[in-house]
Amino acid sequence: MESLKTALARISALSPDTEAAFLSAWKSWTLPKDHPVLREHTVSDYIYFIEKGAARIFYTKNGKTITEWLALDQQFFLSITSFFQRSPSHLGIHTLEPAELRGIHYQDFMSLADRYHEVERLLRKMITDSLILSQVRMDAIQFETAQQRYDRLMATQPEIIQRVPLTYIASFLGMTLETLSRIRSGK
């Protein structure tokens, strides 16, 4: 729970009473590798925090799975559209290795946001951060070379190469596995 408290404090500080109420709403799960956290075409009821482990957010297009996001230790993740619109998700989420997850249900989060201004501010900042990450990702795919996208990933998450299959990394970076292999070999 300490890592969740630390991650939340980096986003927006909560008073002790608000923090206690907010943290009490989080559930925890220990999941094996390759476990579905969210199935495609179901409603995403939780915002997740991965204490330890790795997860992949993906969608299927023309019979191919495309990796939209990779979450590693100490990161939040969700299907944002499904969570906030309460509609079935086009995304799936699976663990890539055994994982310790925490999650807060939509109803609990919204109820706490109605009750505590600090939780409402936290939610606003989480949404803002998510939008910025999405924009940075889209900008990278549109304006950076494959090499630049790979270099950025290695600068921010170098451990990803040891923990995530290269096929998923290539898909996440918007390149073929062959291009990723060429970049990694320096050719």
* pLDDT at site 33: 97
| DSSP for the chain, written as a single string | -HHHHHHHHHH----HHHHHHHHHT-EEEEE-TT-EEE-TTSB--EEEEEEESEEEEEEEETTEEEEEEEEETTEEE--HHHHHHT-B-S-EEEESS-EEEEEEEHHHHHHHHHH-HHHHHHHHHHHHHHHHHHHHHHHHHHHS-HHHHHHHHHHH-TTHHHHS-HHHHHHHTTS-HHHHHHHHHT-
Which residue ranges form the domains of the chain, and what is each CATH number? 2-143 (2.60.120.10), 145-187 (no CATH)
Per-residue pLDDT tens over the stretch 54-109 = 999 999 999 999 999 999 999 999 999 999 999 999 999 999 999 999 999 999 99
Residue type at 43 in one-letter notation: V
**Cβ atoms < 10 Å from Cβ of 34:** 11
pLDDT digits (tens, 9 = 90+) for 140-164: 999 999 999 999 999 999 999 999 9
Residue 129: count other Cβ atoms within 10 Å of its Cβ: 13
| Contact indicator for 93, 77 with CB cutoff of 8 Å | yes
pLDDT-wise least confident of 26-40, 80-94, 173-187? 173-187
